[in-house]
């Protein structure tokens, strides 16, 4: 399934079609007016689908944990689950009803149980009527997302194509031959009415690749790697990172992780070279976590990174996003010095975009410039130290211009890219090579 979705997103983002951008404007709560190439139409958009769950059975409820992460304060309702997390605001709070298994006793919120309704989590309360081993039945309703497409048809009509609904990963609809996608309409869960934040006109059909410099970044910053590739030698690549590099959540990690996509393309570009890929990744951790691990631990920095003796390291650490410029200088300066000692070359990946509220973004449009201090510091550090920087952040920041709300690529609705999102890292990496 995800190979199909990857292809659909690739079609949305990468096939360059001629034509000026369409004008898309609100024309009512659920209507949009679209004008493109002299054709005008007003379209009615279907409201978000509401799914009703009458009897979700849980063998027990955990204690409500008010100090835990919001998506982990209780049992996650299946309807709003996004992998290990949940989708914020998908649950209709008024619909939540916790009962005994027969449905004859309705428990009281605030006395028997508590809910983090914004994130769809429920937990029992001490002293309430729900015991530690009491099975319960829960009824609730939740909304789904959809990514509809406004298209110009082959016979020059403007039409609306309905996307495939999903609580967190709406799929763009396939287009017929000769159709041009003009805009995406992003229907979020329980949306009350359309606003400008739901309208994503297609302003560009692909990331605007700049002309490659001569010599290329790889030729300037990775001379040993390039010499090995051109000579058909053996290159050992170490992908080092956090859960985005481990990526066990993907449908097929062996082919869909960013490093797998990158090395597959690199092998195709340099077919006479033997390229070995090694992955060292630790979910939920950052570079500091590696530095702090003692000898003999599964993720000791010296043993698992430096002693792996890679020729080329590619690092990805979205979990370093809390570092300021001084923190980047300290952590990445240490890595720089250590890699010089073992003769390894280094590519630094800038991170993908994560939940907008985690990044200080009010919307998923007009977000080309990554606001995170960490990203700015990485760019400066790489430039000052003549290191190769694969700037994936730039590509994520322009997805809105391609009609793609970037959070629709996050499989846990927070920070885990789907296969297409992973391909943007590979794009950024391959852009370094001639």
Looking at the structure, do residues 113 and 94 belong to the same domain, yes or no?
yes
Q: Are 4 and 253 in contact (CB under 8 A)?
A: no
Would 419 be classed as within a structural domain? yes
pLDDT of residue 16: 47
- 11 in a domain, yes or no? no
Q: Does 6 map to a domain? A: no
| One domain for residues 374 and 317 | yes
Judgement on whether residues 321 and 406 belong to the same structural domain of the protein: yes
Considering 143, 169, 186, which residue would you say is the last residue of a domain? 143
Are 118 and 158 in a shared domain? no
**Same domain? 60 vs 196:** no
Q: 91 and 189 share a domain?
A: no
**Residue 248 belongs to domain spanning:** 217-430
Domain contains 12: no
- Residues 107, 109, 113, CA angle at the centre, nearest 5°? 75
The answer to the question of residue 206 being in a domain is no
> Is 181 inside any structural domain?
yes
**CA-CA distance, 434 to 428, in Å (whole number)?**
13
Write down the pLDDT at residue 18.
45
Phi and psi at 10, nearest 5°, equal -65, -40
Residue 346 lies in a domain: yes
Together in a domain, 126 and 151: no
Examine the domain organization and report whether 311 and 406 are in the same domain.
Answer: yes
Q: What is the pLDDT along the chain (434 residues), one digit of tens a residue?
A: 445 445 455 555 444 444 789 999 999 999 999 999 999 999 999 999 999 999 999 999 999 999 999 999 999 999 999 999 999 999 999 999 999 999 999 999 999 999 999 999 999 999 999 999 999 999 999 999 999 999 999 999 999 999 999 999 999 999 999 999 999 999 999 999 999 999 999 999 999 999 999 999 999 999 999 999 999 999 999 999 999 999 999 999 999 999 999 999 999 999 999 999 999 999 999 999 999 999 999 999 999 999 999 999 999 999 999 999 999 999 999 999 999 999 999 999 999 999 999 999 999 999 999 999 999 999 999 999 999 999 999 999 999 999 999 999 999 999 999 999 999 999 999 999 99
Distance CA 329, CA 346 (A): 15
Cis peptide before 215 (omega within 30 of 0): yes
Q: State the pLDDT at residue 415.
A: 97
What is residue 7's predicted lDDT score, i.e. its pLDDT? 47
Judgement on whether residues 285 and 312 belong to the same structural domain of the protein? yes
Q: Any idea what the CATH number is for the domain that residue 250 is in?
A: 3.40.50.1110
Same domain, 128 and 177: no
Please give the Cα distance from 338 to 256 (Å, whole number). Answer: 30
233 and 315 housed in the same domain? yes
Helix residue ranges, H only, 24-94? none
Residue-level pLDDT at 361:
97
Residue 310 in any domain: the answer is yes
What does the pLDDT read at residue 10?
Answer: 53
As given in the structure block, the two tokens for residue 222 are 């990775």
- Cα–Cα distance for residue pair 347/354, rounded to 1 Å: 21
Q: Specify whether the CB–CB gap between 10 and 17 falls below 8 A.
A: no
Antiparallel, parallel or unpaired: β 180-187 and 146-152: antiparallel
The reported pTM is 0.93
Number of structural domains (the chain) is 3
Q: Are residues 221 and 149 in the same domain?
A: no
């Amino acid at each position: 399934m995800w190979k199909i979705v990857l292809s659909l997103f690739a079609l949305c983002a990468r096939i360059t079609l001629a034509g000026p951008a369409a004008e898309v404007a609100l024309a009512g709560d659920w209507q949009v007016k679209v004008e493109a190439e002299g054709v005008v139409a007003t379209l009615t958009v279907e409201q978000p689908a509401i799914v009703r769950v009458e009897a979700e059975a849980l063998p027990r409820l955990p204690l409500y944990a008010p100090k835990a992460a919001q998506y982990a304060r209780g049992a996650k309702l299946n309807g709003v689950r996004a992998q290990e997390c949940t989708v914020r605001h998908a649950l209709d709070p008024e619909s939540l009803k916790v009962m005994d298994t027969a449905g004859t006793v309705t428990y009281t919120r605030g006395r028997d149980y508590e809910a983090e309704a914004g994130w769809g989590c429920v937990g029992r309360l001490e002293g309430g009527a729900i015991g530690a081993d009491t099975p319960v039945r829960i009824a609730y309703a939740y909304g789904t997302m959809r990514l509809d497409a406004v298209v110009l048809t082959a016979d020059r009509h403007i039409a609306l194509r309905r996307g495939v609904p999903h609580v967190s990963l709406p799929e763009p609809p396939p287009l017929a031959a000769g159709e041009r996608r003009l805009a995406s309409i992003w229907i979020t869960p329980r949306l009350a009415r359309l606003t400008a934040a739901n309208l994503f006109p297609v302003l560009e059909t692909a990331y605007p690749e700049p002309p490659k410099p001569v010599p290329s970044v790889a030729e300037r910053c990775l001379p040993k790697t390039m010499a090995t590739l051109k000579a058909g030698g053996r290159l050992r690549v170490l992908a080092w990172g956090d859960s985005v590099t481990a990526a066990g959540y993907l449908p097929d990690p062996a082919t869909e992780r960013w490093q797998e996509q990158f090395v597959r393309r690199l092998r195709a570009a340099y077919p006479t070279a033997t390229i070995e890929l090694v992955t060292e990744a630790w979910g939920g951790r950052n570079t500091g976590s590696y530095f702090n691990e003692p000898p003999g631990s599964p993720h000791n920095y010296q043993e698992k990174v430096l002693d792996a003796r890679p020729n080329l390291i590619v690092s990805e650490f979205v979990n370093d996003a809390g570092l300021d410029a001084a923190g980047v200088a300290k952590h990445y300066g240490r890595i720089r010095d250590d890699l010089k000692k073992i003769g390894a070359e280094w590519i630094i990946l800038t991170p993908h975009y994560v939940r907008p509220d985690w990044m200080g973004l009010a919307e998923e449009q007009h977000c080309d410039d990554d606001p995170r201090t960490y990203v700015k510091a990485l760019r400066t550090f790489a430039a000052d130290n003549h290191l190769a920087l694969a700037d994936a952040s730039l590509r994520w920041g322009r997805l809105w211009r391609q009609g793609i709300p970037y959070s629709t690529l996050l499989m846990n609705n927070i920070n885990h890219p789907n296969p297409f999102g992973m391909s943007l890292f590979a794009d950024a990496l391959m852009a370094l090579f001639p």
